[in-house]
Amino acid sequence: MTDYHVHLPVAAQDSVQDFVDMAVRAEELGYDFVWLPETWGRDAVTVMTSIAHATEEIGIGSSIMNVYSRSPALLAQTAATLQEVSDGRFRLGIGPSGPAVIEGWHGIDFGNPLRRTREYVDIVKMVLEGKELDYDGEYFNLSGFRLRCDPPEPRPKVDAAGMGPKAVELAGRFADGWHAILFTPEAMRDRLEDFDRGVEMGDGDRSEQDVTLSLTCAALDDGERARHLTKQHSAFYVGAMGTYYRDSLARQGYEDEAHDIAANWMNGDREAALDVFTDEMLDDFTAAGTPERAREELAKFAAIDGVDNISVGFPRAASREEIHETLDALAPDQR
């Protein structure tokens, strides 16, 4: 049975309290988990701490924190502390982000993101298990570090984000779960084969490893507005957020469209970029429209065998009221 999560907005909100209010509402509506991205607004740790203090049962996690701007030992300390303040409800989602963010904003060489992610997963797990670090990797050679406090019980799960076949295989082999975004149902099934292969390579237990698909959603009485918001959001990711989303779209059978969206966006013609993103593509990647239509599209993704969690996300330009309207319309008890 698929669980339903909430992927809190990537767009800046008026205050930290806005994020807290959304998480509290999600808990009241029966969602199982809230995930918080860390982009270029408020830091995720402070916001997740505030959410932990304001809620009682809903799970709390990062999706994602990048594996460059914090050291793996510091990230492990952060995970241990968040597990404590949330009374065992925390789950850590990490990933490489992209060179535009890592090199352009943080000034760090992007290097080999897959190897770096694997080393972060290894090191963070060691620290959270209370072990003293003795690690010899390509990026990190560490010794002597150990948590001064008792390791958290239970150990927080460590998930990895990924889009390409090797990244997804890595998540299955070394992490406790995989976070997916911007996939068609058909492509999601292909990547699940990569994940399962990674689980087998790592001698893991698939029943203990979660696959979480983040889906951009808008369920509004004004169905046209919902679809426009979602189309705008999707085109932004393909056109403005580096090459990863564009390349992923191309791998899924939309190569010409991906390059046209990116080219129009970079040339400043946003409307032309949106025109390339057809209704067919929108239905392939999102759940948007009237509440009834959005619920039907959401069910299509939830029916994919191997997807454990569907995380309801929101378009960047959605208002606070539109986010709450979508939360209410797609709540577990509405389906």
Percent of the chain whose predicted confidence (pLDDT) is above 70:
100
Q: Residue 174 above 90 pLDDT?
A: yes
pLDDT score for 164 = 92
Q: How high is the pLDDT of residue 81?
A: 98
**pLDDT score of 275:** 92
Q: What is the pLDDT of residues 198-245, one digit of tens each?
A: 999 999 999 999 999 999 999 999 999 999 999 999 999 899 887 888
Q: How many CB atoms lie within 10 A of CB 117?
A: 23
- Determine contact, residues 23/49, Cβ cutoff 8 Å: no
Question: Can you point out the beta strands (E) in 152-298?
Answer: 157-161, 177-181, 210-219, 286-289
The position carrying tokens 């919902």 is 226
Share of the chain above pLDDT 90, in %: 91
Round the average pLDDT of the chain to a whole number and report it: 95
- The residue-averaged pLDDT of 253-279 equals 93
Indicate yes or no: pTM above 0.85. Answer: yes
What domains sit in the chain, N to C, each tagged with a CATH number? Answer: 3-334 (3.20.20.30)
The pLDDT-based confidence of 315 (bands split at 50, 70, 90) is very high
Residue 7's Cβ-side half-sphere holds a number of Cα atoms within 13 Å equal to: 25
C-alpha span between 41 and 67 (Å, rounded): 17
What the block records as the tokens of 130 is 């209370």
Other Cβ atoms closer than 10 A to 72: 26
Burial class (CB in 10 A: 0-12, 13-18, 19+), 245: buried
Strand runs labelled E in the chain: 3-7, 33-36, 59-62, 65-66, 90-95, 134-136, 141-143, 157-161, 177-181, 210-219, 286-289, 309-313
Question: What pLDDT is recorded for position 335?
Answer: 63
CA atoms of 321 and 17, how far apart (whole Å): 15
Q: Rg of the chain over CA atoms, in angstroms? A: 19
pLDDT of 101-130, one tens digit each?
A: 889 889 999 999 999 999 999 999 999 999
